[in-house]
């Protein structure tokens, strides 16, 4: 009898960050082994072992994507506690080109501002950010509902003598400030007047700056929360359409007559058209992208014909719109405009151009030559060198 070939465990011993089921944060660790196609055993740096869904595992060792960041991008930001913890955040400022320290300013999920270098940030999709924030809020719900005695400090009742001391100090301070005001107003020819005014201005300037920064942070936090709310509503609508599609698909297989099958197929097409309106093409912004050493990337050619059509359920490689790398996925639906609905390996549904999808048949007739690939893409995996 022939021995069965063991499947290669691609995640084994890889350095990763993975979501902890306890608090919802991402921590550094390494994959011990894959339990199944959808789960893996992760050994965290703190010494804990957890079985984590592969959807919530992000590789950090070896060759990993490092796309440029701009204002508004969603990231996982490494905290400064030294525990290897990553939290969801939004980029609010990028470093200047002439600056020695390339620091990015990010606004964390808890509306706190922090500065990080590029290697401490991992770019993620808006849906990953939204789902991570929701999970953290659910994980912290226990802290909001159950009071922790260790953090409750008793309020000390002030005695009569302490009240008298406070009143006396207030009177002395008010008396001193009134005397200072009289000195400034009664003696206009005093030579130190400019010095007093300068001190007042220098003291008030930081206060104005702090208030301006706080207002900006509040506005940014409000914008992020609004975007997050709209994104969650948008995703809920998409999920509802996907559930209805799954129900119709299961019903179509059980239809006894051909007419009933056609009616169900028509309902599926209508739902997919609604889904098409809700889901924009993820990598459409690439047509205007300009790299430092490459020419502008052209808009996808809708008239280009491909030898092999892509069918629902077919396995392909799709260009991830957030990190520029090709990832495994499967075809869900042909939109009819050279774009497809793709179910990515991490579970997210994306709408991607046909030219950014590769199947086994597409590469069958291609000859690999020196200096390939020649296609203008944002991130190139490798370049072939001439053999000796």
Q: Is 275 helix (H, G, I), strand (E, B) or coil?
A: helix
What do you get for the CA distance between the two ends of the chain, in Å?
A: 43
On whether both 303 and 342 belong to a single domain, the answer is: yes
Tens of pLDDT, residue by residue over 297-336, are 444 555 566 667 788 888 888 887 777 778 888 888 777 7
Give the range of the structural domain holding residue 347, as residue numbers without chain letter.
285-358
Tens of pLDDT, residue by residue over 327-367, are 888 888 777 777 888 887 766 777 888 888 888 777 666 66
Which helix or strand (DSSP H or E) is residue 232 part of?
A: helix 193-253
CA 40 – CA 55 distance, rounded (Å): 10
Report the pLDDT value the prediction gives residue 4, as an integer from 0 to 100. Answer: 64
Q: What would the mean pLDDT of 80-100 be, rounded to a whole number?
A: 83
DSSP per-residue letters across 112-164: -EEEE-GGGEEEE-HHHHHHHHHHHHHHTHHHHHS--GGGPPPPPPPPHHHHH
Identify which of 92, 85, 137, 134 has the alpha carbon closest to the alpha carbon of residue 115: 92
pLDDT-based confidence at 182, cuts 50/70/90?
Answer: very low
Report the pLDDT value the prediction gives residue 353, as an integer from 0 to 100. Answer: 83
On whether both 289 and 354 belong to a single domain, the answer is: yes
The reply to whether 110 falls in a domain is: yes
The reply to whether 197 falls in a domain is: no
Residue 203 has pLDDT above 50, yes or no: yes
On whether both 272 and 334 belong to a single domain, the answer is: no
For the chain, the domain total comes to 4
The reply to whether 370 falls in a domain is: no
On whether both 264 and 328 belong to a single domain, the answer is: no
Residue 11 has pLDDT above 80, yes or no: yes
For 261, residues 6+ apart whose C-beta sits below 8 A from its C-beta are: 252, 255
pLDDT-based confidence at 294, cuts 50/70/90?
Answer: very low
Report the pLDDT value the prediction gives residue 205, as an integer from 0 to 100. Answer: 58
pLDDT-based confidence at 259, cuts 50/70/90?
Answer: confident
Which helix or strand (DSSP H or E) is residue 329 part of?
A: strand 326-334
Report the pLDDT value the prediction gives residue 121, as an integer from 0 to 100. Answer: 93
Q: How far is CA 113 from CA 37, 90, 188, 224, in A?
A: 38, 10, 45, 13
The reply to whether 9 falls in a domain is: no
The reply to whether 144 falls in a domain is: no
Report the pLDDT value the prediction gives residue 80, as an integer from 0 to 100. Answer: 83
Tens of pLDDT, residue by residue over 16-45, are 999 998 888 999 999 999 888 889 999 998
pLDDT-based confidence at 138, cuts 50/70/90?
Answer: confident
The reply to whether 326 falls in a domain is: yes
On whether both 297 and 324 belong to a single domain, the answer is: yes
Name, of 72-81, 212-221, 233-242, 347-356, the range with top average pLDDT. Answer: 72-81
Q: Is 166 helix (H, G, I), strand (E, B) or coil?
A: helix
For 276, residues 6+ apart whose C-beta sits below 8 A from its C-beta are: 335, 341, 351
Residue 9 has pLDDT above 70, yes or no: yes
Report the pLDDT value the prediction gives residue 307, as an integer from 0 to 100. Answer: 64
Q: For residue 25, what is the domain's CATH number?
A: 2.30.30.140
Mean pLDDT is lowest, of 37-51, 114-128, 140-154, 162-176, for 140-154
Q: Could you give the percent of the chain with pLDDT greater than 70? A: 61
More reliable by pLDDT, 186 or 101: 101
Which of 132, 154, 174 is the last residue before a domain boundary? 132
pLDDT-based confidence at 228, cuts 50/70/90?
Answer: low
- Whole-number mean pLDDT of the chain? 72
For 14, residues 6+ apart whose C-beta sits below 8 A from its C-beta are: 30, 31, 59, 61, 62
For 205, residues 6+ apart whose C-beta sits below 8 A from its C-beta are: none
Q: What would the mean pLDDT of 110-114 be, rounded to a whole number?
A: 87
pLDDT-based confidence at 154, cuts 50/70/90?
Answer: very low
On whether both 305 and 341 belong to a single domain, the answer is: yes
Q: What would the mean pLDDT of 222-226 be, rounded to a whole number?
A: 72
Report the pLDDT value the prediction gives residue 243, as an integer from 0 to 100. Answer: 75
Q: What would the mean pLDDT of 79-96 be, rounded to a whole number?
A: 87
Q: Could you give the percent of the chain with pLDDT greater than 90? A: 10
Q: What would the mean pLDDT of 373-383 be, rounded to a whole number?
A: 47
On whether both 269 and 319 belong to a single domain, the answer is: no
């Amino acid at each position: 009898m022939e021995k069965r070939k063991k499947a290669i465990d691609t995640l084994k011993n890889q350095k990763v960050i993975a979501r902890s089921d306890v608090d919802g944060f991402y921590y550094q660790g390494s994959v011990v082994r894959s339990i199944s196609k959808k789960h893996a055993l992760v050994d965290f740096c703190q010494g804990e072992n957890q079985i984590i869904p592969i959807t919530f595992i992000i590789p950090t060792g070896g060759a990993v994507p490092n796309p440029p960041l701009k204002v508004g991008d969603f990231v996982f930001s490494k905290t400064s506690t030294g525990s290897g913890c990553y939290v969801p955040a939004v980029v609010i400022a990028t470093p200047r080109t002439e600056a020695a320290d390339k620091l990015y300013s990010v606004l964390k999920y808890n509306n706190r501002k922090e500065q990080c270098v590029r290697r401490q940030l991992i770019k993620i999709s808006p849906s990953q950010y939204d789902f991570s924030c929701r999970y953290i809020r659910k994980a912290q719900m226990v802290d909001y509902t159950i009071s922790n005695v260790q953090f409750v400090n008793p309020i000390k009742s002030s005695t009569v003598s302490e009240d008298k001391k406070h009143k006396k100090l207030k009177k002395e301070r008010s008396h001193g400030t009134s005397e200072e005001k009289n000195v400034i107003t009664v003696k206009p020819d005093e030579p130190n007047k400019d010095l007093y005014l300068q001190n007042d201005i220098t003291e008030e300037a930081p206060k104005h700056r702090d208030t301006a920064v706080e207002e900006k942070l509040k506005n940014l936090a409000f914008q992020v929360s609004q975007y997050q709310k709209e994104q969650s509503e948008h995703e809920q609508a998409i999920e509802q359409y996907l559930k209805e599609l799954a129900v119709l698909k299961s019903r179509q297989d059980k239809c006894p007559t051909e007419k009933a099958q056609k009616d169900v197929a028509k309902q599926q097409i209508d739902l997919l058209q609604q889904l098409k309106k809700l889901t924009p093409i993820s990598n459409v912004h690439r047509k205007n992208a300009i790299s430092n050493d490459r020419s502008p990337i052209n808009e996808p050619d809708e008239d280009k014909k491909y030898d092999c059509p892509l069918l629902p359920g077919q396995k392909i490689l799709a260009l991830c719109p957030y990190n520029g790398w090709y990832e495994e996925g499967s075809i869900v639906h042909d939109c009819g405009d050279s774009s497809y609905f793709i179910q990515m390996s991490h579970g997210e549904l994306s709408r991607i151009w046909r030219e950014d999808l590769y199947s086994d048949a597409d590469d069958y007739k291609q000859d690999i030559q020196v200096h390939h690939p020649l296609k203008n893409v944002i991130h190139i995996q490798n370049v072939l060198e001439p053999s000796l």
